[in-house]
Amino acid sequence: MKTRNLAAGVAAVACSLVMVGGAAHAATGAAPKFKAPEIFGKTFQADPGHDFTKGIHSRRDGILRGWITDVQSDGTAEYEPIKWRPGKETEGYFVGPPEGDVMAYASPIAKKAVYLSAFGCSTRTAFMTVDRRTGLGNKSCSRSVLVKRAAKTRVPSLITVYKGQIVKVQEIYTP
């Protein structure tokens, strides 16, 4: 009898924590958990319903395997999907859409965007900061580091878009 009451009590506490957590999540405006794409996927991710003929604009909410191709002075980033191309002499490399393909998006980088680098935050002392299990960056760097790095080079990343803004960029480690 006591075990049943204890189980019911634990279930009630867990349920209330989930409800409170959901309310806290909604109150902070944090991005929900999206299903991540295959990190080394060999096809470009689709964006159902996106009309590329209507000019460059934000992708739907979710996570895109891609890279930032440009950052404008107002903090808007242009980005495109990427796919893994296995190599013959190396493991492979990421590629973007072919020349002339208009598969690109643009979204502002959120003021509190999370940037997880695979190479550290400093360009002077770059060292690997990677989750060895996933191959994804795990060193939290500032938004300004993200903007500077994205302006200089295309870094394969998982780009999370929520409510039309880039809220998280997590680099994919490629040797």
Name the pTM for this structure: 0.79
Specify the pLDDT at position 27: 33
- CB distance 66 to 81 below 8 Å: yes
User: SS3 for 124?
Assistant: coil
Instruction: Categorize the per-residue pLDDT at 7 as very low, low, confident or very high, splitting at 50, 70 and 90.
Output: very low
pLDDT over 60 at 22, yes or no:
no
Distance separating alpha carbons of residues 19 and 37, to the nearest angstrom: 28
